[in-house]
């Protein structure tokens, strides 16, 4: 059977053309040519512009003929294009009326919203030529990567240990010793490190194409250039960040990222992307035309009745997520990342915006969130919401979920931090340790992504080294970044040579990660915390593309004891199914073991003190209740003393055939602070244990 | 168009000498050339890449094409390629089946 559609029907200015297919949107390679398809509801005319790579003037301008306009879609196949050698863009004509939200300008060259490859910032940090009219350039690429037998690891949520990572920050520091530092490819080189640490999922800060030069400036304090380092401002949602690929200068970032994900999967590591659908890099009324605003401004953005941009994102504009067109684009985009890149999940930045209607009001059942929850292609994807936005909507515990969505549990972070700094709150701690049933009662503990630190805020070392933020280097007079850090500097602000303070800081770090790993829910750690990474008190390094934010790998030697502790406590979590489940504890004995699945203790066994000022709490997990009784495990007892005095904790008595063994005691000096799982040493006194000041002890009953 | 490659077939070995750039401009003619060998018993496909200066995505795909279409059971060699070319091929992960050597003798 011979197809007859690889044949032009129209000839114009030396180009062979044919009516295109409206779907899929974007530029798609078809037999003999490329199918271009772009939506605009209000445009009256559209032109396709073809450029030789990186040239400022197009070598061809091809109008979409009237017969190439189907509904609100312009679609055309152009034959015989040298696809590797060209960039393409659109120009649209239509009404320009601020109050009605229409910004058509036929002088502006527009990136394709569905561009799967975007040029213009091919190498990170190479200053762009701002005189060029077309900065972010749509390109065409093959979607033909050879995945061979790649399969999603499909790790149950409760078994994940997530590692939040900035692609560039992870290996850009000279100490990483890598040939192509700061790239996707180099993550592959570091897989042995990630496995050694014990994590099984990486969550990447935004990797969609963004402009690191957006709002570029010089720090008045340090004299260093400040860039859009984190990248929470997307140019194109379908394209990977070229500057994160060692092969970006050759336009091969798509293959490089796919090869990286394939390599991670091969080693049993999942990949979650941090996606930013709440706004775009086009900013407010004074921002540039990149794409959306020139294609259909009042479709893509939420606008006030006067035509201004709503700013629920804090970044100048708000994507109109519950407009049906934008909703479809987001769904197309996420599906694309799943089926083309084999991505395992998404974390949605300021996800509450995705639940606002077109006028900005929060909805009870937002169609976008429901669509994502039930979409077949996203069916096994992890969906994680940052359940708040910059417009004051805070939905931790109440984010519309349909049983599918998990949340960054900000209350976990805050309650653990308060408890760590000796503010008490054993009642809150009991909730957090159990997976926050007070928040996720009907959803299960897997809805709770537990974390103490993330990219946004202090690193774990800084959390125990600074009382206040020190963001002067950002050049905003220290006004940026959160003020409610719930941090404690252990006596001296910032770096010190005081041995006692440093020892306490290390202990507090170990306390924190221990609580994280014995809590029900899904633990997430911030890259570098396992080595005591510091940002010198800066809790908002969004613009710091330098040593302040990059992971200094030499810290692994300096802080070897922290790294060793992380490894072992993570291994402990993996070793003990009683710690991992998507069922809440029932606080009762339902398998006839003689012990409740979880029991609460204090300095006296069976008698927890939940008064507001209490700083001592202990709990015991009954191993016979592991996985609701389906698996056998050891008993685990954790004592937490966040008082500055030591306390004796009376231990719950075990049956004759079992004894308490010490797995971790953060008050001890290494190597006695923690052991390898299974190597625990029997406790001499089975009746009680001395818990040092601000210390955590983990015992195993076997 | 100036041919920047040579294809020689003797016994069960195909030798391909690459020069300059292998990209979307000239890779179709190389793949056409290779396609002629389809169905023949080929044990080795040897790409000599000492003088190859640049390989694009389309160029890498010709090598994959060779593997898929004419040498599924044959050995594919890449000989004398520069470090940059080797790195690009490795990082894009498409042609990891290749045996990389400095030199090749029959």
In a domain? residue B84: yes
User: Stretch A320-331: mean pLDDT, rounded?
Assistant: 95
Residue A492: is its pLDDT beyond 50? yes
Residue A562: is its pLDDT beyond 60? yes
For residue A255, give the nearest of B23, B25, B57 by CB distance.
Answer: B57
User: A180: which chain B residues are within 8 Å (Cβ-Cβ)?
Assistant: 87, 91
Residue of A158, A274, A386, A667 marked catalytic: A386
Q: Which ipTM score applies to this complex?
A: 0.94
User: Stretch A280-296: mean pLDDT, rounded?
Assistant: 96
Q: Do A84 and B64 touch (CB under 8 A)?
A: no
A–B CB contacts, 8 A cutoff, strictly below: 61
Residue B19: is its pLDDT beyond 50? yes
Residue of A189, A274, A349, A552 marked catalytic: A349
The pLDDT of residue A33: 95
* pLDDT more than 90, % of chain A: 95
Q: Kindly report the nearest CA distance between residue B73 and chain A, in angstroms.
A: 16
CATH top-level class for A582-701? mainly beta
Reported as a single tens digit per residue, the pLDDT across A515-524 is 999 999 999 9
Q: According to the CATH classification, is domain A159-408 in 3.20.20.80? A: yes
Residue B2: is its pLDDT beyond 60? no
Reported as a single tens digit per residue, the pLDDT across A245-272 is 999 999 999 999 999 999 999 999 999 9
Domain ranges within chain A, ordered by starting residue: 10-139, 159-408, 582-701
Q: Which of A33, A181, A250, A262 to mutate to test the interface with B (most CBs of B within 10 A)?
A: A250
Q: What's the N-to-C CA distance of chain B in angstroms?
A: 31
Q: What is the CATH number of the domain that holds B86?
A: 3.30.750.24
Q: Which DSSP string corresponds to A584-653?
A: ---SS-SSSSSS-SEEEESSBTTB---STT--EEEEEE-GGGGGGGTS---EEEEEEE-SSS-EEEEPPP
User: Stretch A2-26: mean pLDDT, rounded?
Assistant: 93
Residue A691: is its pLDDT beyond 80? yes
User: A184: which chain B residues are within 8 Å (Cβ-Cβ)?
Assistant: 91
CB-CB contact of A20 with A76 (8 Å): yes
Reported as a single tens digit per residue, the pLDDT across B32-75 is 999 998 888 899 999 999 999 999 999 999 999 998 888 778 89
Q: Do A256 and B24 touch (CB under 8 A)?
A: no
Q: Which residues, 6+ apart, have CB-to-CB distance to A637 below 8 Å?
A: A601, A618, A619, A620, A621, A651, A652, A660, A698, A699, A700, A701
The pLDDT of residue A296: 96
Q: Which residues, 6+ apart, have CB-to-CB distance to A261 below 8 Å?
A: A271, A341, A342, A343
User: Of A352, A354, A406, whose CA–CA distance to A382 is shortest?
Assistant: A406
User: Stretch A114-119: mean pLDDT, rounded?
Assistant: 98
User: B54: which chain A residues are within 8 Å (Cβ-Cβ)?
Assistant: 250
The pLDDT of residue B1: 41
Q: Do B92 and A247 touch (CB under 8 A)?
A: yes
Query: What's the pLDDT band for A60 if we cut at 50, 70, 90?
Result: very high
Q: Do B24 and A144 touch (CB under 8 A)?
A: no
User: B57: which chain A residues are within 8 Å (Cβ-Cβ)?
Assistant: 84, 141-142, 250-252, 255
3-state helix/strand/coil string of A118-152: EECCCCCCCCCCCCCCCCCEEECCCCCCCCCCCCC
Q: Do A256 and B64 touch (CB under 8 A)?
A: no
A211 catalytically annotated = no
Residue B3: is its pLDDT beyond 70? no
The pLDDT of residue B4: 75
Residue A146: is its pLDDT beyond 50? yes
Reported as a single tens digit per residue, the pLDDT across A188-217 is 999 999 999 999 999 999 999 999 999 999
Q: Do A262 and B57 touch (CB under 8 A)?
A: no
User: Stretch A605-618: mean pLDDT, rounded?
Assistant: 96
Q: Do B94 and A251 touch (CB under 8 A)?
A: no
Residue A157: is its pLDDT beyond 60? yes
The pLDDT of residue A461: 98
In a domain? residue B106: no
CA A139 to each of CA A88, A135, A185, A538: distance values in angstroms, whole numbers, following the listed order: 6, 12, 21, 38
Q: Do A255 and B58 touch (CB under 8 A)?
A: no
For residue B94, give the nearest of A141, A146, A180 by CB distance.
Answer: A146
Q: Do A259 and B91 touch (CB under 8 A)?
A: yes
The pLDDT of residue A227: 97
Q: Which residues, 6+ apart, have CB-to-CB distance to A376 below 8 Å?
A: none
User: B64: which chain A residues are within 8 Å (Cβ-Cβ)?
Assistant: 146
Reported as a single tens digit per residue, the pLDDT across A474-485 is 999 999 999 999
A349 catalytically annotated = yes
Enclosing domain of residue B24: 5-101
Domain A10-139: give its CATH code.
Answer: 2.60.40.10
User: A258: which chain B residues are within 8 Å (Cβ-Cβ)?
Assistant: 93
Domains A10-139 and A582-701 in one fold: yes
Domain count of chain B?
1
Residues of B within an 8 Å Cβ radius of A? 23-25, 54, 56-58, 60-61, 64, 87-88, 90-94
User: Stretch A608-623: mean pLDDT, rounded?
Assistant: 97
User: Of B53, B17, B46, whose CA–CA distance to B104 is shortest?
Assistant: B46
For residue B24, give the nearest of A83, A247, A250 by CB distance.
Answer: A83
In a domain? residue B81: yes
Q: Which of B57, B61, B84, B89 to mutate to test the interface with A (most CBs of A within 10 A)?
A: B57
User: B93: which chain A residues are within 8 Å (Cβ-Cβ)?
Assistant: 145, 255-256, 258-260, 262-263
Distance of CA A526 to the CA centre of its chain: 10
Q: Do B61 and A141 touch (CB under 8 A)?
A: no
Mean pLDDT rounded to a whole number for chain A: 96
In a domain? residue B24: yes
């Amino acid at each position: 059977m011979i197809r007859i559609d690889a044949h032009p029907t129209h000839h114009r200015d030396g180009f062979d053309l044919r009516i295109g297919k409206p779907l899929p949107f974007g530029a798609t390679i078809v037999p003999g040519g490329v199918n271009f398809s772009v939506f605009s509801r209000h445009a009256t005319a559209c032109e396709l512009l073809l450029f030789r790579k990186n040239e400022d003037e197009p070598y061809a301008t091809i109008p979409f003929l009237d017969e190439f306009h189907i509904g609100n879609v312009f679609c055309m196949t152009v034959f015989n294009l040298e696809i590797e050698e060209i960039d393409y863009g659109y120009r649209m004509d239509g009404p320009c009326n601020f109050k009605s939200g229409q910004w058509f300008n036929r002088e502006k060259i527009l990136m394709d919203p569905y561009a799967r490859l975007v040029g213009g910032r091919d190498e990170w940090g190479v200053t762009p030529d701002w005189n060029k009219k077309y900065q972010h350039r749509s390109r065409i690429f093959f979607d033909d990567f050879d995945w061979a037998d790649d399969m999603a690891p499909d790790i149950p949520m409760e078994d994940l240990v997530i590692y939040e990572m900035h692609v560039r920050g992870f290996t850009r520091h000279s100490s990483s010793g890598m040939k192509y530092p700061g790239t996707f490819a180099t993550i592959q080189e570091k897989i042995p490190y990630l496995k050694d640490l014990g994590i099984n999922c990486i969550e990447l800060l935004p990797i969609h194409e963004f402009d690191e030069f957006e709002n570029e400036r010089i720090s008045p304090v340090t004299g260093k250039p400040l860039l859009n380092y984190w990248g929470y401002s997307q140019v194109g949602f379908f394209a990977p960040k070229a500057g994160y690929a060692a092969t970006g200068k050759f336009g091969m970032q798509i293959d490089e990222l796919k090869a990286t994900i394939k390599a991670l999967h091969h080693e049993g590591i999942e990949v979650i992307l941090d996606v930013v659908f709440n706004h775009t890099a086009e900013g407010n009324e004074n921002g540039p035309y990149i794409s959306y605003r020139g294609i259909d401004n009042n479709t893509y953005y939420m606008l006030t009745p006067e035509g201004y941009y709503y700013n629920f994102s804090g970044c100048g504009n708000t994507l109109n997520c519950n407009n049906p067109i934008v909703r479809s684009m987001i769904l197309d985009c996420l599906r694309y990342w799943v089926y083309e890149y084999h991505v395992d999940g998404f974390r949605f930045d300021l996800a509450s915006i995705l639940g606002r209607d077109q006028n900005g009001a929060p909805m009870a059942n937002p169609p976008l969130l429901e669509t994502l929850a039930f979409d077949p292609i996203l069916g096994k994807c992890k969906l994680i919401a940052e359940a708040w936005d910059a417009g004051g909507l805070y939905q931790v515990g109440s984010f519309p979920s349909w049983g599918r969505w998990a949340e960054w549990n900000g209350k976990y972070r805050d309650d653990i931090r308060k408890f760590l700094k000796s503010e008490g709150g054993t009642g809150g701690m009991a909730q957090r340790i159990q997976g926050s049933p007070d928040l996720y009662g009907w959803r299960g503990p897997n809805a709770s992504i537990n974390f103490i630190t993330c990219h946004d805020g202090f690193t774990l070392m800084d959390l125990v080294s600074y009382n206040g933020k020190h963001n002067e280097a950002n050049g905003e007079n220290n006004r940026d970044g959160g003020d409610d850090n719930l941090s404690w500097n252990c006596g001296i602000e910032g770096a010190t040579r005081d041995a006692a303070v440093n020892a306490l800081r290390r202990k507090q770090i170990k306390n924190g990660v221990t609580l994280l790993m014995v809590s029900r829910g899904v633990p997430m750690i911030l890259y570098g915390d396992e080595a005591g990474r510091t940002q010198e008190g800066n809790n908002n390094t969004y613009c710091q593309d330098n040593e302040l934010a990059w992971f200094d790998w030499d810290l692994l030697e300096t802080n070897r004891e922290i790294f060793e502790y992380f490894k072992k406590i993570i291994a402990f979590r993996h070793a003990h199914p009683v710690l991992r489940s998507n069922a809440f504890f029932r606080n009762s004995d339902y398998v006839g073991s003689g012990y409740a699945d979880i029991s609460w203790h204090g300095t006296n066994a069976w008698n927890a003190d939940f008064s507001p000022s209490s700083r001592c709490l202990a709990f015991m997990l009954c191993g016979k209740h592991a996985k609701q009784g389906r698996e056998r495990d050891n008993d685990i007892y954790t004592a937490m003393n966040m008082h500055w005095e030591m306390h004796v904790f009376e231990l719950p008595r075990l049956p004759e055939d079992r004894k308490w063994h010490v797995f971790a005691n953060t008050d001890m000096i290494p190597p006695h602070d923690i052991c390898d799982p299974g190597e625990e040493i029997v406790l001499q006194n089975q009746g009680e244990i001395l818990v040092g000041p601000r210390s955590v002890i983990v015992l195993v009953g076997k | 168009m100036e041919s920047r490659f040579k294809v020689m077939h003797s016994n069960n070995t195909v030798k391909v000498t690459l020069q300059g750039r292998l990209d979307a401009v000239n890779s179709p003619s190389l793949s056409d050339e290779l396609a002629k060998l389809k169905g023949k018993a080929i044990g080795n496909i040897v790409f000599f890449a000492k003088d190859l200066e640049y390989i694009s995505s389309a160029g890498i795909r010709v090598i994959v094409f060779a593997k898929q279409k004419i040498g599924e059971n044959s050995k594919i060699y890449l000989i004398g390629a520069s470090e940059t070319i080797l790195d690009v091929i490795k990082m894009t992960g498409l042609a990891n089946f290749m045996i990389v050597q400095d030199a090749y003798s029959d």
